[in-house]
Amino acid sequence: MELFGALYGNEKLKSTAASDLLRGKHSHAYIIEGPEGSGRHTAARLIAQSVLCNRDSDERFPCGTCLSCRKIADGICTDVIYVNRGKAASIGIDAMRELKSSLTYAPVESEYKIYIIEDADKMTVQAQNSLLLSLEEPPSFVVFILICKDSSLLLETVRSRAQTVRMQLFSASEILRYLEENPLKKSKCDPSSAAASCGGAIGKAVSLIEGESSDELKDAALCLESLPLLLSKSLTDRLSLVKSFPAKRDDAVRFLKTLTNAVRDLVAVKRAPECELLFFADRKRAEELAAKTDLAKLVSLSQAISSSVEKISANVSIQPVLTLLVSYK
């Protein structure tokens, strides 16, 4: 039987949460953690379907074909309630009050009611404290699913009352294989650029291919273009790069994060030749670049990039920070 069939990889999730669900056991609260595009929303939907599935077939679980499964997939199941921050920066106490006022009403068409809280790490402390009481003693027919990027932003008391599911990140070569096995109809860029630009998140790679975001692709191309000079022994060569780096704060931070993944790969091929790579789908290219310099220099470059990200995010002027970055020792 296929567990969580629509979810690529994530074997640990399938062997724990999914197999518990198959045996009719579910937790009353889940935290699903991972970066954007890592399949968190798919996992939340699959958990909701598994709790409410009426099993039409024994081939896979959830079956995907019974009425509950179909309604959840279409987003029209009245017992699966989404809570999100809309355009607000955070989820405040008012949203929690609203949630709690509906909590005690029994489900309408199913055995359970499932609350999916998106961007749960954007709940204010008051909102989390308010939710906590419901997490401690939820009605027997309620299941909470909290989706977040970083569960460490949730209160320890909230975390300790839920089962945490971490979404798996994939190596660039695994993503490339996935994209080749599951070709998309509209393709705005080639799969290897998408695999290099998505930071290990399959959903992100798919949205890049579908042309929903092109900044990341430009960043990846600029990384590949800049790395030979950035690894050069000549300071003049490296300084010549500064003018080609993004000049706007958000663009510079996003670019440097992509560069972090690329340099991390170069450190990885030096340290552990068999390790998986996040940025380079073409391992040979990573090895060639890594061969241009030594491990100590790569580590120093990696530290220079992360301190630059911190400084630029903290509003320090961009040009001097980038100049200091390329002058790494």
Number of residues that bind Zn ion (CB under 5 A): 5
- Nearer to Zn ion (CB atom), residue 66 or residue 81: 66
Residues 290/270, Cβ–Cβ less than 8 Å: yes
Q: Applying CB under 5 A, which part among 11-19, 64-72, 193-201, 309-317 lies near Zn ion?
A: 64-72
- Nearer to Zn ion (CB atom), residue 72 or residue 256: 72
Which residue of 53, 91, 223, 259 would you call a contact of Zn ion, by CB under 5 A? 53
Minimum distance of Zn ion from residue 2's CB (angstroms)? 13
Residues 137/98, Cβ–Cβ less than 8 Å: no
8-40: b (≥16 Cβ within 10 Å) or e: bbbeebbeebbeebbeeebbbbbbbbbbebbbb
48 is a contact residue toward Zn ion (CB under 5 A): no
- Nearer to Zn ion (CB atom), residue 22 or residue 324: 22
66 is a contact residue toward Zn ion (CB under 5 A): yes
Which residue of 63, 162, 202, 256 would you call a contact of Zn ion, by CB under 5 A? 63
Burial of 58 per CB tally in 10 Å (0-12, 13-18, 19+): exposed
> In whole angstroms, what separates CA 56 from the centre of its chain?
32
- 3-state SS of the chain: helix, strand, coil percent to 5? 55, 10, 40
Q: Applying CB under 5 A, which part among 46-54, 117-125, 159-167, 171-179 lies near Zn ion?
A: 46-54
69 is a contact residue toward Zn ion (CB under 5 A): yes
Helix segments in 198-248, DSSP class H:
202-209, 215-230, 235-239
Q: Which of residues 241-300 bind Zn ion (CB under 5 A)?
A: none
Residues at the contact surface with Zn ion, assessed by CB under 5 A: 53, 62-63, 66, 69
